[in-house]
Amino acid sequence: MKTFTYTIQDEVGIHARPAGLLAKKAKEFQSTITMEKGGKSVNLTKLMAV
């Protein structure tokens, strides 16, 4: 299994438009892609969770 870790540097986090693009791209893969903050993890394909 491959893993990739990236830290978002912006203090306010990720905005709606880029989050939508990430969710759309994540749906193209069969992999499970998650995003985590403060110990809480969400599936990246669920835009409202992001």
> Which residues participate in catalysis according to the annotation?
15
CB 35 within 8 A of CB 41: yes
User: Computed from CA positions of residues 39, 41, 47, 48, in that sequence, does the dihedral angle turn out positive or negative?
Assistant: negative
CA distance readout (Å), 6 to 27, 37: 19, 12
